[in-house]
Structure 1
Amino acid sequence: MSFLTASRFPLMRGQRFMLVGLCVTLCLCWCAPNVQGQVTDAQEVSALLAVRDRLKDPYKNLNWTRKFDPCAANWTGVKCYWNASDGYLHVEELRLLRLNLSGELAPELGLLTHMRILDFLWNNITGSIPKEIGKITALFHLLLSGNQISGPLPDELGFLPNLNKFQLDLNMISGPIPKSFANLASVQHFHMNNNRFTGQIPPEIGTLPLLKHVLLDNNQLSGYLPPELALMPNLTILQLDNNNFAGTGIPDSYANITKLVKLSLRNCSLQGTIPDLSSLRRLLYLDLSVNRLTGKIMTNRLSQNITTIILSHNELNGSIPSNFSALPRLQKLALNNNLLSGSVPSDIWENVLFTSESKLDINLEHNLLSDISGTLNVPSNVTLKLSGNPVCTSANQRNIAPFCGGSNGGEDIPDESLEKPALLSCPSQICPIQGNFEYIPTLPDQCRCAAPFGVGVRLRSPSIYQFPPYLDLFKDFILSGISLYHYQVHVDSIEWESGPRLRMFLLFFPDYNKSTVFDASEVQAIANVFARFTIPGSDVFGPYDLLNFTAKGPYSNFLLPSINNGGGGLSKGALVGIVLGSISCAGVILACLLLFLQKRRQQTNSKYSVKDKSFPKVSMKVEGVKAFDFEDLEMATNNFRTQIGQGGYGKVYKGTTTDGAVVAIKRAQQGSLQGDKEFYTEIEMLSRLHHRNLVSLVGYCDEKDEQMLVYEFMPNGSLHDLLTAKYTAPLNLETRLHIALGASRGILYLHTEADPPIIHRDIKANNILLDSKWTAKVSDFGISRLAPVSDAIGDTAAHISTNVKGTPGYVDPEYFLTHKLTEKSDVYSLGIVFLELVTGMQPIAHGRNIVREVNTACQSGMMFSIIDRTMGPFPEDIVKKFMTLALRCSMDETKDRPSMLEVVRELENISSMLNPSISTSPSPPTSSLYGDRTTSYGTMDLLPRTGTDLVSGVIPTINPR
């Protein structure tokens, strides 16, 4: 229609309105018959009715009736989409979660060939799984957990080409696991625990390329552990507890499952020795208890991030290895009920990174331990159990009675809860009595109330033993799939269950700055994220169960379907379909009109072309920034086969332009997090910013529904790549300071020399790129904002009031709480980068915040214990000054942070102390510089616990968040 109403079209206004009216009238007349009657595919209607006939619905939760169309009238749990090619609505999802349904699954489910999600979670379905489900080639999730399904698995299920999640746990399914499952090339999740499977685990499944989670615990499997499981390149969780692999051992090949995060083989009747697992650098959780394993405990180094080691109830001998004292994340060490002898180590907890929430549970009961090595000084957050050892009866050992009390046997399930936040003394009636309103517990310093939406979940296979230290990381994990702020999600309760699995209840609160109640679309969006399992995976928390939704008060009808008495309302999908149908009809008529008017249009508008639409909507044409054609970039990247990275915006490719320039091309994916606004902001910002420490924009492409940005190529990648061991050589202090100084100079340019000044808003290690000479260049200006001017007096930084954007772990806490963005927000983010450079830690990892960890270490006089040990030898005074600067930049309050000018000057001073030439040509990382990559620290002075003297290098005190 825009062609008819455009000002350049040579028709009078009245003529245009007549043409528009004619088109609409003809379209409605053409399409009106198609609106009458059913819009769902007839075969699928019949299939749903057959499904309904096989189900029992004692609580009348299903509104399925022959009187109304399934998709158009919103049948309970029936989610549809419009297929323009055949003109029908098709069932895409059958979501019948926890509706107290019984009966059996109908074979007619196989006729729903467009269905992607089949969800009967937590009902009372009996009978067997129909083999006809194997015909649903579009099926992505098969969710049947928590029913009473029995019988064997049909072989036909092994031929579902798109199946991603196989969720059948907590049923009574028997028989072997079909060998046909080796054909499930797209499957990532085998969640089939707590059934009655028998026989051998098929070795053939070792060929599955994408399988990540194998949860087959609590079955009746036998035979041997297939060594072929080690061939799966993406296996992260192998949980086979409580099966019977009698007389067999753990294959040595399991030490080659490099992505393995959790290995749990409790009570599997295993024999032999424990393989050398030192190559499993991502391993977080190891449980080999209640077997008949012999030999000594591994003495090779385990993963530095391991949280749980449970080797109890075996026949292990020898002494307790000293390497257990080098595991900073350890939460649980259970070696009880073995044949261990020698001394009880008094230093297991020496290097553990304790926080106020973390604890360490050590169980050494019922061994042959005879004495204590050193002085037994057990911290209050360590639980040590020694009963049943000779050391508890030795007259030579004193002060160990508190550790010699008995304990109960059985499965070791953590007993913990979350401490409720202490609210202010708020008026008792500030929240409405009706409507399910309550105080927002994540705002303890404010009396704010809103109506929460509840979600019950269960972590199926977490790789931790204690949850409270990981609360913040868990919120990051949940919010990675939901566009909410941290304060809007509250973990209301947790309960460890057998497995161990972690059941929890989450409350989601509306943004109190906008409303005290979610609208229906917001509730549906949250529900869909959980029901469709779209939250990205997590090594720490593993896969999750969706248990229920709690939609009380204003939300009581938001998740329920509705049918009008007058014949049923049309769903959004149906309305979209009708609109699309009408548009198609209009297109036919418009085509005739346009043919008639084409000649005149070409004469009067020859200067307009389709390609004009491909040009970006920026307000200027800047020399040096080229508008590339799609074909140019397609050729430069060999048809986009040269991917070198990926992020939330899309994929990044290396390319060579026709003039021989090597470039990096960032290609937006459809529905990316950035979109038009960030795309044009990036072009606008970089087109007028020129500094050796800012990445250069070469050009862009905006055509054929494609948005691409073309940058200078940075051969050494990002700082994040460098710090996460993508480079084999260590990174010396000189190069780290050079990178820090380069990034700081780039940000200083933005704050003081750009016209007008700019706040970057997303400073992080991923956005600091490194050229061939290790020069740091700041990149990614998609969410940058123009900086405000100072106030009238000039000594107080002005701010911008804006929604919080940025990356968790790098976001200025004051900006997060007040929504007031200042230049000091960039200083805070840069301070986090500095802490990464000096410690090698990530901003948020395994529930620990880098600022809090560093501050705790510094205040306890243990600063050098957290320095990145791959740095090589370094002068202590220089590292101390760099750490001091990093912590000053990371202060909670804006007023306590230095300006960017102060940061640059201090870094120049520190660099000149190390090497006067560092600012121009640092030494690149090379393995020859550092030998075995170990650092000899010698004797170190403990740092004072308070102070703010930047020059002397005294570490400032920071309030832990």
Structure 2
Amino acid sequence: MAKAILSIVVVLVSCCFALLASGQLTYPSDADALNAIRHQLKDPGKTLRNWKKSDPCESNWTGVICTTNQDDGYFHVQELRMLNLNLSGTLAPELGQLSNLTILNFMWNYITGSIPKEIGNIKSLKFLLLSGNQLSGSLPDELGYLPNLLMLQVDLNQISGTLPKSFANLVSCKHFHMNNNSISGQIPSELSIMPQLLHFLLDNNNLSGYLPSEYSQMRSLKILQLDNNNFGGTEIPTSYSNISTLVKLSLRNCNLQGAIPDFSNIQPLRYLDLSRNQLTGGIPTNKLSDNITTIDLSYNLLNGSIPSNFSGLPHLQRLSLENNLLSGDVPSTVWQNVNFTAAARLIIDFQNNSLSNISGSINPPSNVTIRLEGNPVCNFANQLNIAKFCGITIGDDDFVPGSSSNSNNSCPPQSCPLSENFEYVPESPLYCFCAAPLGVGLRLRSPTISDFRPYTVPYRLYITASLGLDLYQLAVDSFIWQRGPRLRLYLKIFPRSSNTTATFNHSEIQRIRDMIATFAIPSNDTFGPYELLNFTLLGPYYNVDLQPLESGLRKGALIGIILGAVFSFVAICLAIMVLFYKRSTQSRHDVLQKKSISKVPIRTESVKEFSFVELEAATSGFSETTQVGQGGYGKVYRGTLANGTVVAIKRAQQGSLQGQIEFITEIELLSRLHHRNLVSLVGYCSEQDEQMLVYEFMPNGSLRDLLSDRYRHTLSFPLRLRIALGSAKGILYLHNEADPPIIHRDIKANNILLDFKFTPKVSDFGISRLAPVPDAEGASAHVSTVVKGTPGYLDPEYFLTHKLTEKSDVYSLGIVFLELLTGMQPISHGRNIVREVNGACQSGQMFSIIDQNMGSYSSERVKKFMALALQCCQDDPQERPTMLEVVRELENLCSVLPESDLIPTGSDASSAGSMSAGYASLPLYSGRNSQVTTEILGSELISGVIPTITPR
């Protein structure tokens, strides 16, 4: 028997060597690289587990796309698309072995570690897309030697270090997107020689030094966006006024000084934002381009009068000059000689200057909003008939989410099967044409407009012309402004009305998807660069299998690989037996482990145990169109249960041990907590490795969302007091009335949710702990525990001593109070909110840091609320009030307000309510780049010395 086996081996070896010698057997080296890449990534969705070493070219949208080389007869990986798969782990250096790769897309995952320098070996690479991960470390110099790279996107990560000068060698690069990282140091002036660069986005980093004047030599540059960096009080180079191709210049909050250059010679210029700097002198008097839509020079030190050059700008949407030192007249010519369309809006904001007179009469059309509050001219508001312009405005209606879709209500609803993803096409030439759309989520990364509503039709024309569609085939289902400002769009693409099946065929779906995904839609100056967030196939498209490129191997190569596999089998048969034994052991372990976590070890009648099938149906198969938030725990979906109840479903990332612990904790606590200011748990699902929590749906999102730059105008001071009081009452219930008492341990603005009446509800009890019982003498007790919490909200005493008390929650809530008063984040660009507020109060400038969007308020009540907030944030827990004292003080503050002031006005409610409409719902929980619960470094906790302020 042994001789027979030996003879077979000899024959096989001989055959394999013969095939190798004749060139008929090639070894797929790309498969080896893919295998190494797979092993360094963790994949809860099991997509990577389907890769096979012999044929990794799976034919799915988010997988590996290969081509067969007709010369050598074996496959080459051309594209790696692993978009939004919840992948973690690191990127393997073996990526550099994929020598034919053109697209590397790992956006919107949880990948950590650094970017491998070996990627610089892929000379064929055109798109390097790594946005929205947790990558760290510095950018490798080797990336600067990719001669064909068109787009470099590494934004929304944790990348640090300086920007390599070698990037000047990216001679083909058009899109340079590195915003929202921690890149530091001087921007290399050498980048000015990049001949093709169109979009240069480096906002929200830690850049310092100066603005290189050499950038005026960029002959193709259209967007220069460097907001929220620190250029050390340097000036804007006057040479920037010579960048003749520029359509957007955004240098907001960059610590710039000096005068504003004259940008009147840049004819394409559409968007100019130099706000929140220390610019001085007068505003240049030459007229800007007729293409301008947005001029924001607010929060500077500009003086002199408002020049007449702002008149007659036909496309102007926003003129923001608030919070400067401007004097003289309020010009009434800004909106004159402008023909407004029905959808057009113009906001003119002159608040908080020294304007003392009116030039002419102010009687603007309804399209124009004027804001004059905080100017001396408002002292004579009644005499001048300008009182309506001197009041506190609630907000900017141009930032409210919206939709361009108009459903045909006259069509019979029973004729269109909505449950199968069919709907009436809004503007179809065929009356009541019912069809199944494709869903597309896009984000405009740097649009050059402030108000999208007048541009919905131009946008539809632009997209349909690029995709070869008719105008009625595209609907902007909803849109919402996000920080940046960036614009998130949810589109529906319908089949032509001549299509008898009312659906797209396979090849048309593939064509549309590939054009969007490969950035084949040409660049547009108005809408700027975009990114694909999702491409949703529902209803009749659910099982569509897209194959963007030819996949597979030639027959000869396949035969060679099979022979090689047979040869390998003989050599590793013993290893297989050992492996089989190990896998059997592991399988038994996995089964036991699944059994141990498949059921929640408690039973309660107050919450329902849902099946996976029920929650899958409630969310249309966990479609991305129902996703409303994402955090470290997992994703949150908006679902509709079988009985019609709208709920929020928080689905944990699979395989998370910490998630399992937090899952059980939250069910145990919420199942026995019932208070109007605590979020209600409807039920849960615990099947196999699925962990889902079902809550009541909170349509107005989180407090952090409403305190963001775009939406904090919806929060008047009385409403902020009401939210503070409700939040405190919820925590007071945890401390004093829950049995046993509970310490939340992660109070923050992201964990305070708002219902449709803006009633606050405290949420997220995953890391909460039972409070200790005081000793026999009534002395306060503590829990010794590992420090967990969120940077900026964490009690310094708890961090230093690991002693958790109820006063730790008081500290965190005090930070939330400071957010309500200032609109600031707890930690932002190295600034700590307690230190900033304390410094302003000690210098007698408290009102300089009060949120300007808060509306009218009593200075006395604001002082008392500030005093309470600061005492809650005392470093010494003994100096902090109890939660009962906090509630009593807030009740005193609210008691002197009219009852109507404590309820959102109709405009408040409608505005905020629209934020959660359709796909554009505000996140229920912390977003993927929000602050998340984590272990903390002491350097993030320094709060400075806070004066003792006793609440009333």
Q: Deviations over 1:79-127 (max 9, x none)?
A: 1222222222211111111111111111000000100000001111111
Letter in 2 for 1:250: I
The partner residue of 2:512 within 499, 507, 526 is: 526
Contact 1:92–1:117 under 8 Å retained in 2: yes
CA contact (8 A) 1:413 1:496 kept: no
- Report whether the alignment pairs 1:492 with 2:484: no
> What residue is the counterpart of 2:653 in the other structure?
none
1:290 aligns with 2:276: yes
Report matched runs for 1:118-267 at 5 Å: 118-267=104-253
Are 1:478 and 2:463 an aligned pair?
yes
Residue 448 of structure 1 corresponds to 433
Give SS of 2:214's match.
helix
Q: Cα deviation per residue 1:436-472 (whole Å; 9 max; x = unaligned)?
A: 1111123398211111111100000000011111112
Aligned residues: 538
SS at 1:182 equivalent: helix
Cα distance in 2 for partners of 1:40, 1:334 equals 65
Q: Which one-letter code corresponds to 1:574 in the other structure?
A: G
2:552 is equivalent to residue 574 of structure 1: yes
Shift of 1:431: 1.0
580 and 507 in structure 1: CA distance in 2 versus 1, 3 angstrom threshold:
farther
Cα gap change, 1:481/1:581 in structure 2, threshold over 3 Å: closer, same or farther? farther
Q: Is the 8 A contact 2:144 2:169 kept in 1?
A: yes
1:372-426: CA deviations, max 9, x gaps?
11111111010000000000002784210100112479x9982242354151411
Larger mean Cα displacement after TM superposition, 200-209 or 53-62: 53-62
Matched, 1:459 2:444: yes
Change in CA separation of 1:453 and 1:578 when aligned onto 2, cut-off 3 Å:
farther
Q: Is the 8 A contact 1:39 1:69 kept in 2?
A: no
Q: 2:44 aligns with which of 27, 41, 58?
A: 58
Question: Partner letter of residue 473 of structure 2?
Answer: Q
Paired with 1:360 and 1:526, the residues of 2 have a C-alpha distance of: 36
Quick one: distance in 2 between partners of 1:541 and 1:84? 41
- Name the structure 2 match of 1:331: 317
**SS of match in other structure, 1:150:** coil
Displacement of 1:351:
2.3
* Separation (CA, whole Å) in 1 of partners of 2:371 and 2:137: 45
8 Å CA contact 1:40–1:71 kept in 2: the answer is no
**Correspondence 1:361 to 2:347:** yes
Equivalent residue, structure 1, for 2:681: none
Write the distance in 2 (CA, Å) between the matches of 1:282 and 1:516. Answer: 42
1:71 paired residue number: 57
Q: Give the conservation status (yes or no) of the 8 Å contact 2:331–2:358.
A: yes
- The structure-2 alpha-carbon separation of the partners of 1:448 and 1:56, relative to structure 1 and needing over 3 Å to count, comes to same
RMSD: 2.6
Hey, what does 2:588 align to over in structure 1? none
SS at match of 2:263: coil
Q: Report SS of the residue matched to 2:280.
A: strand
CA distance 1:59–1:191, shift in 2 (3 Å): same
Range 260-269 or range 400-409, more displaced: 400-409
CA distance in 2 between counterparts of 1:580 and 1:109 reads: 23
Give the secondary-structure state (helix, strand or coil) at the position aligned to 2:183: strand
Q: Are 2:62 and 2:83, in contact at CA under 8 Å, matched by a contact in 1?
A: no
Which among 399, 402, 408 is matched to residue 388 of structure 2?
Answer: 402
Secondary structure of residue in 1 paired with 2:340:
coil
Name the CA shift for 1:154/1:489 in 2 (closer, same or farther; >3 Å): same
Cα 1:536–1:344, aligned 2, differ >3 Å: closer, same or farther? same
Q: Closer, same or farther in 2 for the Cα pair 1:399/1:76, shift >3 Å?
A: closer
TM-score by length of 1: 0.54
Shift, 1:305, TM fit: 0.9
Larger Rg: 1
User: Which residue of structure 1 aligns with residue 780 of structure 2?
Assistant: none
Q: Distance in 1 between matches of 2:155 and 2:398?
A: 20
Change (3 A) 1:43 1:357: same
**C-alpha offsets along residues 581-602 of structure 1, whole Å, 9 cap, x if unaligned?**
99xxxxxxxxxxxxxxxxxxxx
Please give the per-residue CA displacement for 1:798-842, whole angstroms capped at 9, x wherever unaligned.
Answer: xxxxxxxxxxxxxxxxxxxxxxxxxxxxxxxxxxxxxxxxxxxxx
281 and 258 in structure 1: CA distance in 2 versus 1, 3 angstrom threshold: same
Q: For residue 502 of structure 1, what is the aligned residue in structure 2?
A: 487
- One-letter code of the match for 1:43? S
1:555-574 matches, within 5 Å, as 555-559=541-545, 572-574=550-552
Instruction: Provide the C-alpha distance between the structure 2 equivalents of 1:61 and 1:38, rounded to a whole number of angstroms.
Output: 32
> Structure 1: how far apart are the matches of 2:219 and 2:272?
19
Between 1:481-490 and 1:156-165, the stretch displaced more is: 481-490
CA distance in 1, matches of 2:37, 2:275: 45
What letter is aligned with 2:518? R
Q: 1:391 aligns to what SS in structure 2?
A: helix
1:373 corresponds to which of 353, 356, 359: 359
Q: Does 1:43 align with 2:29?
A: yes
Distance 1:41 1:289, change over 3 A: farther
Question: How far, CA to CA, are the matches of 1:101 and 1:455 in structure 2?
Answer: 22
- Which residue of structure 2 aligns with residue 586 of structure 1? none
Equivalent residue in structure 2 for 1:435, among 417, 420, 425 = 420
Q: How far, CA to CA, are the matches of 1:572 and 1:395 in structure 2? A: 71
The answer for the alignment partner of 1:346 in structure 2 is: 332
- Contiguous gaps of at least 5 residues in structure 2: 1-18, 560-952
Task: Return closer, same or farther for 1:396/1:437 CA change in 2, 3 Å cut-off.
Answer: closer
What pairs with 1:880-891 in structure 2 (closer than 5 Å)? none
1:54-79 superposed Cα distances (whole Å, 9 cap, x missing partner): 11111223353336512376695111
Q: Give SS of 2:65's match.
A: strand
The one-letter code sitting in structure 1 at the alignment partner of 2:428 is L
Stretches of structure 1 lacking an aligned partner (at least 5 in a row): 1-32, 563-570, 583-961
Quickly say closer, same or farther: Cα 1:463–1:74, change in 2 above 3 A.
Answer: closer
Matches within 5 A, 1:948-959: none
What is the CA-CA distance between 1:532 and the residue it aligns to? 0.8
> In the TM superposition, what is the alpha-carbon distance from 1:41 to its structure 2 partner?
6.1
Per the alignment, residue 102 of structure 1 pairs with: 88
CA distance in 1, matches of 2:355, 2:439: 49
Cα distance between partner residues in 1 of 2:517 and 2:55 = 24
**Would the alpha carbon gap of residues 373 and 52 (structure 1) be closer, same or farther in structure 2, given more than 3 Å must change?**
same
SS in 2 for 1:457: strand
Partner of 2:369: 383
Higher normalized contact order (CA 8 Å, seq sep 6+, divided by chain length): 2
C-alpha distance in structure 2 between counterparts of 1:297 and 1:447, whole Å: 54
**1:834-877 alpha-carbon deviations (Å, 9 max, x no partner):** xxxxxxxxxxxxxxxxxxxxxxxxxxxxxxxxxxxxxxxxxxxx
Distance 1:395 1:356 in 2: 29
User: Is the 1:40–1:72 contact (alpha carbons within 8 Å) kept by the matching residues of 2?
Assistant: no
Question: In structure 2, the residue corresponding to 1:402 is in which secondary structure?
Answer: helix
